[in-house]
């Protein structure tokens, strides 16, 4: 007789025991509670949905009249409208409750315990999470290396995931490049999952959705969430060869799409092509402007994007991604810390409307100045506690920021921002209109004799204002 265990976890599937939840943006309720700001006042740059809005009053009102009924489990009308939208047959469509459900449905249909799955890095985390749930062994490769994987290398894989445009990098592959990978996967008998959730906001000409008609091993994911800004309705659909689509529709949950999502989705397919054209034009224009502003911000290195979000390397900024995210949340702005993508020095921000993008830029400048003040006070406190002068930081990556032999007792000026142009400091005005106080032309606190006099005053307990008057003012 088998020994009974009192620990219920011993009876669970082993694949779930070490499974970590996938990290996403758009954590509005959690962020609202943490910051003490109501959700409606938060600016969410962490989720990359269409910055424009479409009037859904009429289709929503009509759909809500039917909420006392079950939806059609076959979703015939929805599938036909989706098929017409992307140029395939209704037999190729798999309706889904958003992208994440369809990723899991693909994994449930295709992946078995022990299968090897190839996933690029960095990319959307749900591919790995759902594949691990099915017991897959994950093989990671740099994004570009996935595209050059040989047929021999692919032969040991069960499936390959590809995001186009890629999240979080924003790069977009031309259809011909993806088709090269489709051919190699097909020849090797490997399923290729192509996530095109953002393609309607980028360039639909790069889509390979119609290739499913001639390929048994291709699955293409599409989303209405991003394209039409209807994240709360959870509407998505998959497109595959009718054989694969048939099995996935057999596996998917009954009534996985609610009746409001079904009917609003159908309406969008039939009425919103002009809205998408307008959206793409707006995003291209605003992204170009936003990119230039980000590139002009000290410590920010934005990466060229083809979609409605921008990945930014902030390794040269005064704060790291986690700290910057927390400081911005205090100002009511949510951004995406990209550590979960394996990018510990990056953030991702959505391209929004001009006033919202300006709010982000101005807030970052405010955070930078507030941080400078905090560092100045910390430097002052340290100098008072240690009571030393003539500290040289030759190991500092910025040395010599002013001159050789400088004194670094006050690496961060205790008077920052003094706002006195006689020092050589000045407000720098960005093209966006935001301003930040720059001390690059001021070397006064780094002069050894000045640093000593400042420290002597602070050690006597003299406050900032009087110390300025006694030490700094005569030098100006």
The pLDDT confidence band at residue 392, using thresholds 50, 70 and 90, is low
Helix H, strand E, coil C: the string for the chain is CCCCCCCHHHHCCHHHHCCCCCCCCCCHHHHHHHHCCCHHHCEECCCCCCCCCCCCHHHHHHHHCCCCCCCCCCCHHHHHHHHHHHCCCHHHEEEECCHHHHHHHHHHHHCCCCCEEEEEECCCCHHHHHHHHCCCEEEEEEHHHHHCCCHHHHCCCCEEEEECCCCCCCCCCCHHHHHHHHHHHHHHCCEEEEECCCHHHCCHHHCCHHHHHHCCCEEEEEEHHHHHCCHHHCCEEEEECHHHHHHHHHHCCCCCCCHHHHHHHHHHHHHCHHHHHHHHHHHHHHHHHHHHHHHCCCCCEECCCCCCEEEEECCCCCCCHHHHHHHHHHCCEECEEHHHHCCCCEEEEECCCHHHHHHHHHHHHHHHHHHHHHHHHHHHHHHHHHCCCCCCCCCCCCCCCCCCCCCCCCCCCCCCCCCCHHHCCEEEECCCCCEEEECCCCCHHHCHHHHHHHHHHHHCCCCHHHHHHHHHHHHC
Q: What is the pLDDT of residues 452-469, one digit of tens each?
A: 888 888 877 888 888 898
pLDDT of residue 376: 73
The pLDDT confidence band at residue 358, using thresholds 50, 70 and 90, is very high
Q: What is the percent of the chain where pLDDT is above 90?
A: 64
The pLDDT confidence band at residue 440, using thresholds 50, 70 and 90, is confident
Q: What is the pLDDT of residues 80-102, one digit of tens each?
A: 999 999 999 999 999 999 999 99
pLDDT of residue 4: 65
Q: What is the pLDDT of residues 281-300, one digit of tens each?
A: 999 999 999 999 999 888 89
Domain boundaries, the chain: 52-274, 364-475
| Whether residue 396 has pLDDT greater than 70 | no
pLDDT of residue 268: 96
In the CATH hierarchy, which top-level class contains the domain 52-274?
A: alpha beta
Mean pLDDT, the chain, integer: 89
């Amino acid at each position: 007789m088998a020994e009974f265990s009192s620990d219920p976890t011993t009876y669970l599937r082993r694949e779930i025991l070490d499974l970590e939840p996938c990290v996403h943006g758009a954590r509005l309720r959690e962020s609202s509670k943490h910051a003490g700001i109501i959700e409606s006042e938060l600016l969410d740059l962490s989720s990359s949905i269409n910055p424009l809005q479409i009037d859904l009053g009429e289709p929503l009102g009509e759909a809500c009249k039917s909420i006392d009924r079950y939806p059609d489990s076959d979703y015939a009308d929805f599938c036909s409208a989706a098929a017409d939208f992307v140029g395939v047959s209704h037999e190729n469509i798999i309706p889904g409750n958003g992208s994440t459900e369809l990723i899991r449905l693909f994994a449930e249909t295709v992946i078995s315990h022990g299968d090897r799955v190839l996933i690029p890095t960095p990319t959307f985390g749900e591919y790995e999470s759902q594949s691990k749930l099915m017991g897959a062994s994950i093989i990671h490769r740099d994004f570009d290396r996935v595209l050059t994987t040989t047929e021999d290398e692919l032969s040991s894989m069960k499936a390959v995931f590809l995001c186009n445009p890629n999240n979080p990098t924003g790069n977009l592959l031309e259809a011909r490049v993806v088709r090269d990978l489709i051919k190699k996967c097909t020849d090797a008998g490997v399923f290729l999952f192509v996530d095109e959730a953002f393609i309607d906001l980028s360039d639909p000409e790069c889509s390979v959705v119609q290739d499913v008609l001639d390929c048994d091993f291709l699955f293409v994911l599409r989303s209405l969430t991003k394209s039409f800004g209807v994240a709360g309705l959870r509407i998505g659909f998959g497109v595959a060869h009718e054989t694969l689509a048939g099995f996935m529709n057999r596996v998917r949950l009954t009534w996985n799409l609610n009746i409001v999502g079904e009917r609003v989705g159908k309406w969008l397919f039939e009425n919103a092509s002009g809205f998408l054209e307008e959206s793409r034009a707006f995003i291209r224009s605003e992204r170009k402007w936003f990119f230039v502003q980000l590139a002009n911000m000290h410590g920010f290195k934005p990466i060229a994007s083809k979609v409605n979000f921008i990945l930014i390397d902030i390794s040269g900024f005064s704060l790291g991604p986690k700290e910057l995210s927390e400081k911005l949340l205090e100002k009511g702005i949510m951004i995406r810390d990209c550590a979960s993508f394996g990018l510990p020095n990056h953030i991702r921000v959505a391209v929004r409307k001009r006033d919202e993008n300006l709010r982000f830029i101005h807030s970052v400048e405010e955070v930078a100045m507030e941080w400078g003040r905090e560092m100045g006070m910390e430097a002052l406190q340290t100098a008072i506690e240690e009571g030393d002068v003539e500290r040289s930081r030759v190991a500092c990556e910025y040395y010599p920021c002013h001159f050789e032999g400088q004194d670094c007792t006050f690496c961060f000026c205790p008077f920052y921002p003094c706002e006195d142009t006689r020092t050589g400091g000045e407000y720098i005005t960005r093209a966006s209109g935001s301003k930040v106080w720059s001390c690059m032309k001021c070397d006064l606190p780094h002069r050894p004799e000045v640093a000593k006099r400042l420290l002597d005053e602070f050690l006597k307990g003299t406050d900032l204002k009087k110390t300025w008057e006694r030490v700094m003012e005569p030098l100006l």
